[in-house]
């Protein structure tokens, strides 16, 4: 009773918007008992219908009435969203704290246009350049950007629309490999207390894996698995970099490659990015105590943001050459 995508990932029915409000009425313990690991990725299938439970064991045939399962499958399949939201991935800040104005002055909000809802986050890396995830700009001809605000809907925030979008030519929408994009601004920014660029990691750190290091994430994305609304205020949280092998156990080796960086909530917490936080920066302190960006928020397990699974990021040390080629910036040292 799960939808298989590309022969690997499963899309859970609970994630479809049509079924969401129906299943939301179930008692939470019943819902949580439905979550199991299936086909080496995370999935929640239709577990209790009229008291008939599905199996929770991996690869075991689910014990459910065929008609009920087929009905749910057909109903969900009709409303599955495009491949940009694969079953194993989505993106938000879970268990975060409110950010103060100017705390993360490089953080930007991306929308398809001024009246659309939140699309993604991004970071200012120079007066005329914003860095974000490839899947945030894929298929778009323009993008609306908001600067210098910790409020999602701030009519007074500085904003621009850019048509100069440079997605990494090796971006793969199925695996989210090379999930990097650059946005050239039509007018250079004037930096202030609330609008500043973030320093990127340098080539000197190309061989540093950051494992065990604590990093910070921020954004306006969803805040738990039950709430489909974005946060109206910027939230931030702390995560710890983990070995890629731990991440590959969840997402597979086609998703987690050397140019991927993975993290989990600090000290075993459920702090995580989630839907809407894509493209935002993963930042940590350099040896001088200055903030530097080491990753781009890329993916998490769909509808599992509070389940303490890893989150994935584009590892910036793997993309400094590409960013330098497009922007002309030098990352050999600061």
Task: State the catalytic residues.
Answer: 135, 179, 278
- Give the torsion through C-alpha atoms of 303, 305, 306, 312, to 10 deg: 150
d(CA 247, CA 262) in angstroms, rounded, equals: 6
Cβ neighbours of residue 83 closer than 8 Å, sequence gap 6 or more: 5, 173, 174
Q: Could you tell me if residue 270 is left (phi over 0), alpha (psi between -120 and 50 degrees) or otherwise beta? A: alpha
- For residues 186-197, b (16+ Cβ closer than 10 Å) or e, as one string? eeebeeeebbbb
Which H or E run includes 77? helix 66-77
Q: Could you tell me if residue 215 is left (phi over 0), alpha (psi between -120 and 50 degrees) or otherwise beta? A: beta
Question: What is the three-class DSSP state of 294?
Answer: strand
d(CA 123, CA 99) in angstroms, rounded, equals: 15
Residues across the chain = 334
What the block records as the tokens of 269 is 């917490």
């Amino acid at each position: 009773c799960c939808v298989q995508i590309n022969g690997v990932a499963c899309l859970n029915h609970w994630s479809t918007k049509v079924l969401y409000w129906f299943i939301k009425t179930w008692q939470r313990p019943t819902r949580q008992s439905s979550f199991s690991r299936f086909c080496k990725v995370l999935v929640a299938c239709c577990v209790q219908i009229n008291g008939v439970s599905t199996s929770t064991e991996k690869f075991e045939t689910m014990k459910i009435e065929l008609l009920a399962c087929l009905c749910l499958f057909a109903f969900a399949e009709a409303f599955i969203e495009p491949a940009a939201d694969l079953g194993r991935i989505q993106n938000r800040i879970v268990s975060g704290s409110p950010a103060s104005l100017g705390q993360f002055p490089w953080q930007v909000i991306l929308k398809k246009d001024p009246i659309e809802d939140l699309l993604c986050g991004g970071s200012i890396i120079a007066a005329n350049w914003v860095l974000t995830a490839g899947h945030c700009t894929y298929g778009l001809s323009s993008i609306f950007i908001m600067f210098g605000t910790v409020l999602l809907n701030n009519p007074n925030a500085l904003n621009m629309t850019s048509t100069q979008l440079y997605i990494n030519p090796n971006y793969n929408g199925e695996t989210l490999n090379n999930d990097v994009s650059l946005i050239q601004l039509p007018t250079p920014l004037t930096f202030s207390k609330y609008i500043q660029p973030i320093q990127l990691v340098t080539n000197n750190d190309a061989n540093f894996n950051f494992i065990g290091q604590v990093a910070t994430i921020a954004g306006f994305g969803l805040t738990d698995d039950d709430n489909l609304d974005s946060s109206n205020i910027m939230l931030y949280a702390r995560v710890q970099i983990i070995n890629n092998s731990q991440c590959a156990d969840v997402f597979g080796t086609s998703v987690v490659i050397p140019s991927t960086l993975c993290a989990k909530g600090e000290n075993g917490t459920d702090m995580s990015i989630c839907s809407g936080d894509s493209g935002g920066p993963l930042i940590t302190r350099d040896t001088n105590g200055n903030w530097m960006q080491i990753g781009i928020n890329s993916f998490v397990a769909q509808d599992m943001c509070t389940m303490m699974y890893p989150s994935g990021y584009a590892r910036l040390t793997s993309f400094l050459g590409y960013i330098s080629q497009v922007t002309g910036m030098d990352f050999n040292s600061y």
